[in-house]
Each structure stands twice: as structure tokens, then as C-alpha cells.
Amino acid sequence: MKERIRERARELGFDDCRFAAATAPAGAAQFQKWLAAKHFGQMHWMERQAPKRLDPQKILPGAKSVICVAASYHLARNQRSEAAGNHAPAAESFSAPPATETGATGVIARYARLDDYHDVLGEKLKRLAQFVDETGGPSARSLWYVDTGPILERDYAQRAGLGFIGKHTNLISRQFGNWIFLAEILTTLELEPDPPEQNHCGRCTRCLTACPTGAITAPFELDARKCISYLTIELKGPIPVEFRRAIGNRVFGCDDCLAACPWNRFAREGRLMKSHVREDLQQPALTEWLALDEKSFQQKFAGSPILRAKRRGFLRNVCVVLGNIGNESALPALEKAARDPEPLIAEHARWAMDEIRARAKPKRNPPA
């Protein structure tokens, strides 16, 4: 049965498929500690759904197994550019001085430069779940999730042997590095578990050092409230002023801790996602995006994960990035944004203008 399911998963395009027992997650105590510290920020569903995350039986009564699948979103062209000397981690980290030309561009997290993985993987996973139920017989029942259900997916992925949870709290595959999507099927079928993966971080702390805001407060501990991915995607209100400059040129999400991981040297291009690249999201022209109204925003990002931030959140991010890397040529667009009927956008536009004007002031020579 396992091999038939695994073969079907590969036929559907998944790069790996492993199996775990549907018992309580090994990281339950650590998860409860994280909740108690309120490190989830505004992601209150994590707290509301905690009982289900701690007990798969509360999701699917009678669940016996978790089928864990992975799909790599690494692109070979990223590997080629790094080999040619244009190292992606350095290029995608904010270390450059403010832009001196018009058309400042920002950076979008790698996963979001593709079609929305929820849709791409979901269509395939639904078919795999149907296959599991049909193969398992009339008593088989399954539920599938692509990063949407109340399940500690990285915990089960490590238990199933897909990879190990790194010090940045993300899953690392020894075959695909950090660039992987995860999805799961809970099933009432009893399938023999695969051997779990062991941690292979060793003494490495590159991800902790790479984090621009210190969100990785200790190995295996993340304070989401400081994480740039949280600040630019999940946070619905103003970005705290103390974090705005650290956001640098990151418009949506952050890859810094992932890109720093040495296991990425083994990354391989996946089969499922490589045909879903969004070329228009590779180097976003910020002032053009700042002009998007609600309708054009919806049209521009149809089928993209960026819709999650909504127009107000995304243009908020664009303003912050322009405040960090823009020059005076960006002021007209920001002045218009400062009159936007959405207060969140207007406030961040005013902040960005102040930042640009402060940089543009001539520096006085100290008195002799």
C-alpha cells in the first residue's frame, strides 16, 4: 500500500512522500511554550486551534497515519546565478546603499515568485487523497492540507523522514535544502511509519546570524513578532517603526535565514513548481506597484500568494522599502500614496518620504 501511494505521489509531481504515525506531535511541549510566550503575534488561529494541533484525533477521529509530501521550489537558474558569482543570498539581503537611479526594485521571497502553492499543490494533493481512499477501501477516510490545517506539519515531516527542523525552525531536506513546500494527508489507514530524520545542524548558527531583526532568539526558537515574513504578510496593522529600516528591500517575505543554510548546496529543482514561475515578480518596480488601485491589484496578483497581504498591506510594504532604498525620484509616487484613502498606506508613505528627504539633505562639514 505504501509503495502504491508513494508511486502515485511521484506521478502527480511531488518530489518525496513519506509516512508517520498519527500520534501526538513530538514538539507539543515546545509549541505550548511558544504559545504561552505570545510569540505568534496576531496569528491568533494558532492559539485557537491548539487542541487540534496537539491531537490529530481531534481533526480526524480514527486517524492512524500521516502521509507527508514535499515539493521543491528551488529553480536551477538560481543555482546557475550563484555559481556565476551572483550569489542569491547576498543579492537578496539588504546590504546595498540607497538607490541612485529611478525604478528602485525590491525583493519578494522565492516561494511567492511562483503561482500560489496552495492552489498548485492542493489540486494534486486532492487527487492523491482520493487515490488513498479508493485504494484503502470503503472504511478509509482522509483529510488533506496544504499549509492550511491545524497540524504541526514540520513535526510530522521530520517524524516521517522528509527532513529535519533546523535552528531557524523551518524544515531542511538533505536532498532539497530549505526550498520545499510541505503538505499532508491524515488518513484512517494504518501505514507503517518511515524512519524519522535526525537533526544535522551541528554547530552551525548561520541562520541566527543572518536574521536581520533577531527574530530567531535562540536555536529552534522564533519570535514571529520580529520576523520580516510575519511583518510583511501576517501583520495587518502598521509595521513597528523599530523594524522598518531592517526590512530593507524586502517587499513580501524574507529568505535570509533559509538562504544562509549550507544544506542548500544540495538543492535540486523540483518537478511540480518549475512551470509556475511568475516572471513579473522577479524584480518588482516599486513605484509602478504603488500606483495600483484595488481592481488592478487583484488583477496583477491573481493566483499569487501576494494576495494574502491585501492591497493595504502590500502597498504598506512597498512604501517601507522605498523609504529604505528609494531616492527623490520616488517622492511623487509616495506623495500620491500619502493621500490614499487607506490610512495604513498613507502613514507609511509619509514615513518613507521623511526617510528619503533625510538622506537627501547635504551633510555639513564639521567646523575646522
Active site residue 280: no
By the 10 Å C-beta count (0-12 exposed, 13-18 middle, 19+ buried), 36 is classed as: exposed
Contacts of 56 by beta carbon, 8 Å cutoff, 6+ apart = 22, 23, 24, 63, 66, 151, 186
State the cell numbers at 63. Answer: 486517524
Task: Give the separation between CA 118 and CA 147, rounded to whole angstroms.
Answer: 7
Task: Count other C-beta atoms under 10 Å from residue 275's C-beta.
Answer: 10
Catalytic residue among 16, 116, 133, 147: 147
Q: How far apart are CA 22 and CA 156, in angstroms?
A: 8
Cα separation values, 352 from 101, 129, 226, 346, 360, Å: 17, 48, 20, 10, 12
- Degrees, nearest 5: CA angle 142-157-164: 180
Cα–Cα distance, 277 to 142 (Å, whole number): 31
Q: Which residue is listed with cell 526558537?
A: 221
Place of cell 550569489: 87
C-alpha cell at position 163: 527532513
- H helix intervals, the chain: 2-11, 28-36, 45-48, 50-54, 76-83, 88-92, 117-136, 153-160, 206-210, 228-229, 241-247, 256-259, 286-290, 294-300, 310-325, 331-337, 343-360
75 secondary structure, DSSP code: -
- The helix/strand/coil state of 185 is strand
- DSSP for residue 171: E
**Cα 328 from Cα 310, distance rounded (Å):** 27
| Residues labelled as active-site residues | 147
